[in-house]
Structure 1
Amino acid sequence: MILDILFPNRCIECSSIIESDLIVCGNCMDQVHFTHQDYFADNFVKQKCRLLFPVENAFALMKFEKQDVSRKIIHELKYRSREIIGKNLAEWTINSLDFKNERPDLFVTVPLHPKKLSERGYNQLHLFTRVLSDFYNIPYDNELLRRNHYSKAQALKNKRNRLNTEHTFSVTKDVSEKHILLIDDVFTTGNTLATIAWEILRKGNNKLSILVMAMDE
């Protein structure tokens, strides 16, 4: 309580004081550019994925634009030790995503290298995925995938380096006959997701769908 008084939670866009479980104020919430995509439609994310790998369905919660509120939200989540933002993003996703009668069998997150996980202290996708798992009653596995190489943050890489993802990931367990929803924070080139997708699809007669917090168009 005292800390809330001395260090109140502030909107990441305008710095106005807001409730402790929020990340933006009501006015700035209107500036978050949600995609309003249909998970089952031939949306932009699905079109981009299909250029790289077979995909069943796809969904991006927000647009990832320069100087945009959504970019600030993702930055706070990944680099400013604000893991709780994952809970907010999950709640926003729940309000927009209906699996209807084609529910995935398993949620799987893109992993961090152990060194990066130690440096950051958390994987920005885990709380997000756990909240979704609890709401939809769909299991999640944060250990199915392993990142084999340590690398600097995607935001600090140039495009040529981002494209070099060969042998970066491996599947640690036998998995087959599953419809897997692969979860990541930002879709940029799509090469990270493609590398993982082919590893999963090679393991068995699996199907794959994609969920990202934001889409860089």
Structure 2
Amino acid sequence: MIADLLFPNRCIACNRIIDAQLLTCPLCMEQIHFTHTGYLDDSFMKQKCSLLFPVENAFALMNFEKENVSRRIIHDLKYRSREHVGRILAGWTTGQLDFQDQKPDLLVPVPLHPKKLKERGYNQLHLFTESLSAFYNIPFDHELIKRNHYSKAQALKDKQHRLETKNTFSITQAISGKHILLIDDVFTTGNTLATVAWEILSAGNNKVSILVMAVDV
């Protein structure tokens, strides 16, 4: 294709020309620190969640480290209009994530405020969630959780403001007796996920598990 010749796909980290279907070159791929922990393991990710809310299982694909390729990937997904990165990360996830006998009933991504969604043009979690839904044959719901307040990006907030999430989210419909897999991009303080998780748990006899693209270590 002429477009491929004029605008070749380049590694997200080092800018080398790579195959159109790839995200990184092999050398940069080796720099990504995948967690290699199972969904059912008593992992670092699960322990962090357990300090904040009752969690069934937890899975993080990558470690989120300063000046690492994983940080660049998430940044490009969220802030550089590279929505397709979500589909690639979903492919990486399905290669490692095995629900075994604890498959959730519903996949629910953390929502953006409508104003933020309009500004960005997409929710960085939607394509990722939809790809996982198709692979595992688990339904998803982008509308179950509503974000009530507009706020600037988490990355731009100081620690105190990151903790101010009271009444930030609400449930849009009655739901009970479900095992919800709550999906987010990065687990940092865990406060956002905890706020959403408590909304789901308080709504009825529900269970919550967590899946994130990366966990801050």
TM superposition score normalised by structure 1: 0.99
1:92 maps onto 2:85 in alignment: no
Gaps in structure 1 of 5+ consecutive residues: none
Residue 116 of structure 1 pairs with residue 109 of structure 2? no
CA RMSD, Structure 1 to Structure 2 (Å): 0.6
Aligned to 2:35, the other structure's residue is in SS state coil
Mapped partners of 1:2, 1:164: distance in 2? 50
Partner in structure 2 of residue 43 of structure 1: 43
For residue 18 of structure 1, what is the aligned residue in structure 2?
18
Paired residue secondary structure (1:62):
strand
Q: Kindly provide the amino acid, as one letter, of the partner of residue 114 in structure 1.
A: P
Counterpart in the other structure of 1:128: 128
The equivalent of 1:70 in structure 2 is 70
Correspondence 1:128-167 to 2 at 5 A: 128-167=128-167
Once residues 140 and 63 of structure 1 are traced to their aligned partners in structure 2, the CA distance between those partners, rounded to angstroms, is 25
Query: After TM superposition, where is structure 1 displaced by more than 6 Å over at least 4 residues in a row?
Result: none
**Shift of residue 3, structure 1, vs aligned partner:** 2.0
Alignment of 1:25-40 (within 5 A): 25-40=25-40
Aligned residues: 217
The equivalent residue for 1:60 is 60
Cα shift at 1:28: 1.1
2:174 is aligned with 1:178: no
The one-letter code of the counterpart of 1:56 is: E
| SS of alignment partner, residue 209 of structure 1 | strand
| Letter matched to residue 19 of structure 1 | D
Instruction: Return the alpha-carbon distance in structure 1 between the equivalents of residues 119 and 2 of structure 2.
Output: 29
Separation in 2 of the partners of 1:167 and 1:101?
A: 34
Q: Aligned partners of 2:26 and 2:32: how far apart in 1?
A: 10
State the one-letter code of the partner of 1:94: T
Once the two structures are TM-superposed, the CA of residue 2 in structure 1 deviates from its matched residue by 2.0
**Comparing 87-96 and 14-23, the one that deviates more:** 14-23
Provide the rounded CA distance (Å) in 1 between the counterparts of 2:98 and 2:38: 9
- 1:5 Cα shift? 1.1
SS in 1 for 2:89: helix
Give the partner amino acid of 2:15.
S
Q: CA deviation at 1:213?
A: 0.2
C-alpha deviations, 1:119-141, integer Å up to 9, x for none? 00000000000010000000000
- Structure 2 residue runs of 5 or longer lacking an equivalent are none
